[in-house]
Structure 1
Amino acid sequence: MATHREFRLRTRPLRGLPTPEHLDLVRTPVPVPATGEILVRNRWFAVSAALRTLIGGGLEGAPFPSVEPGDPLFGAAVGEVVSTASDGGPRPGELVSHWQGWREYACVPADSCAPLGDALPDPVAHLSQGWTAYAALTRGARVGAGDTVLVTGGAGAVGTMAGQIARLLGAGRVIGTTGSPAKAERLVAEFGYDAALLRGADAPFAARLARAAPEGIDVLLDTVGGEQLSAAVGAARPGARAVLVGALSGQLDPEGTGATARVELDSYALVLKRISLRGFSPLDHPETEGEWRSRFGDWLRSGAITFPHVRVAGMERAAEALSEVMAGRHLGSVVVELP
C-alpha cells in the first residue's frame, strides 16, 4: 500500500508557544478520492503563525476549526492533481490551491478548487497573503491618493505585501513596524515603506510614531494589536480608517493561548476624531480575489511588486520552520517546498 507523510499535533503545550516536540511527522496510507474528490500531490504549503491559535484550542467564530491532538495540521497549499473521482473540475497534471497543507497527498473536493492556470508567473505566489492586504486597503480602508498609511507587522506575510500595495494605490507616506533592525532596513529599501519603527525600542512607541508621522495617519492596517493599535488611534487624523486583520500581540503571547488579544483604547479619540475601526476579512469581499489575482500578476510581470518569501526544502524542516515563524525569524511568507 502506498504511503505518504503528514504532520499531526502530538500534544498541546502546557505553556509557551508550540515547538517541534509538540508535532509528529507520521507515515500513513495515501488517501483514496471519494466520488467528487481529486487526489492532489502537494508541491508547496505555507507556514502560518495563525496555527498557534488553532493548536491552542481555536477561537469561536474563526473560519477554521481547532486542531486537536492526533489531528493533521492544515493550511494553504498548492499541489498537482494526480487522479480524480469527479466528472468535472481539475484534471490530472493541473495545479490547484487548497487548504490541506502539511501533508504530501490530500483528497480535496473537486468543486472547491479550480486550476491555477497562468494568472501568476510563479505558482508559489498563490500562497501570498497579498489578497488580505489588497482587500483590506481597497475595501476596508479605501486608501486614497496622498494618504499616510501605517501597517503594523510590516515584515510579516501580510505586511510585506501591504506596503507595496499601499504605494501602488497612491499612498503618500507608508510606515511599517517590525522587531528587527535588519528587517526595518529591508522594509524601506525593498518594500515600499518610507519609515520602519522598531517595537521594544527605548522611546515609547507612541512617541516614535508621532515623529514618523507628525501630521498623523489616515489609514491603519493592523496585524498586531496591543500597544501599536493603541498608539495608532492616538496618532490618527480626523476621519482615519483603521482595519484590523490580525492580532499577533495576543496570538504569539507565550503566556497566553493565542485566543485573546487585549488592548486599551482611548474611546474619546475614536469619537472626537470620527475614527472608523473595523475587523476585516477578505472572505467578506469574494469579488476581490479575482481582481487581486489579475492585478498581482500584472504587477509581478512588470516588476512593480515582489512576493517576499522564504522557501524551506522538505517536510523534515517544516516543524522547525513553524517555530521560526512564531519567533519572527523570517521576513515575508514562509513556504515549505516538497520534492
Structure 2
Amino acid sequence: MRSDELDRLATRLGTDRGGVVTAADLRAAGADPGTVRTALARRWQAPVRGVYVPHRRELTAVELAHVAVAHAGAGAVLTGLVAARALGMRWVPDLPGTMVLVEPERRRASSQGHVLVRRCGALPTLPTAPWKGLLLAPAAQVVVDAGRQVAAHRRAGLGDRRREQAWLDDACLREVRGLVLGAVADRLCSLDEVRAVVEAGAMRDSALLRRACRDAERGAASPPEAELIDGLLGVGVPFWANLELHDDDGLVAVLDVYLNGTGVGGELDSRQEHGSEQQLDATLQRHRRVQAHGAELLHVTPTRYRTDPAGFHSSLTDGALDRLGRGLGDPPGLRLVPRDPLLCGPRPVSPPYRLPTPMINGTSRGRNAA
C-alpha cells in the first residue's frame, strides 16, 4: 500500500470523526502495518496510543474531542473544558486536555496523555446534546467536570512546591468561580443543578465548587464580584450585591454592590465589560443617572481592587460615613429592588459607621424592597 493510498483511506475513515482514525479502524480496512508505521514516523501523529490524526499540525478542539472519544470508546460523552467552550461558556481557562465520561463498567478505558477519562454512574440517564458528531454532557455536569479538570491540572503543575499552595488555591478558585458564575449568570444551567452534580460526585476539589456556588447564591455574577463580596463581608457592614435601582421611569442601574441605607454603591469596571467605546459610554451614562438621583457611585478595576482591597473598602465606608453625617441615606427618588439577600459579615467592635435605628430595624429595607 502506497502512502497516498493510506492517506486517502484515513480521510475516508475519519470523515465523520473529525479526521481521527484508530488502529483498529485501519486494521479492519486492510491497511498495511508497515505503511502505517512510516506515516506515524513522518506525517501523522498519535495523541494517545492507537488513535491517529493524519497530520502534524496542532490539533483543533474538534480533533481533540474526537481523539478522546475514540480512545474511551463508543458511548463516551464529552465534558470538561473542551465541552465548556463548545457550549459557549465564559471565562473558560485556556488549559490543555480533554475529558470524557464513560460508564463505570468500562474498565479498559483509562486516562492517557491529555485525555482524562472519568467514570460516571449516571451516564445512561444524562441528557446529552449533539456537537460535531459527538455527545456533550449537560451544562451543569460540564461546569463541575471543568472545575475538577482545572484543579487537577494546576495541582499537577505545582508538584512538590507546597510553598506555592496559596497561589494554587487563589488561581483555582478564580478559574472555578468563572466557570460556575458565568454558566449560572448566562442561564446555561441553574445553581441547584450545579449543586446537585457536586453533591453526587467525588469529594476531592468539591470545596472550590461549593464556594463558587455560595458566591452565586450571594449574587456574584463574575469572579471579581465574588472577590469584592468576600472583601466587604470582612468589613462588617450590611450591603446588597447586584442591586437594581428604579425610578418612576423604570430601571436606572444595577450596582455591583450597594451599602444599605447609605446611598453609596460600588462598581467593578473590567476591560471585558467596559473596554469598548460603546461600553464605556454606557458606563458613564449609568453613572450620571445614578448621581442625578443623589447617590454616590465609586468605581475600581479588578486589578486595582486586588492590589488594594482595603483602600476601596475605605473609600466606600468613608463615603457612607460622610453621607450619614449629613443626614443622608438611600436616595428618596430611587426604589431599591434586591435580586439577592442582604449580606453582612461579623460586625466588628468598632464598625466604620452605624445606621440610624429605623434602618437597623429594617424600616428602610421594607420601604425600598420590591
TM-score by length of 2: 0.27
Q: Which has the higher contact order (CA 8 A, sep 6+)?
A: 1
**Computing the radius of gyration over CA atoms, which structure comes out larger, 1 or 2?**
2
Structure showing the higher helix proportion among its residues: 2
Structure showing the higher strand proportion among its residues: 1
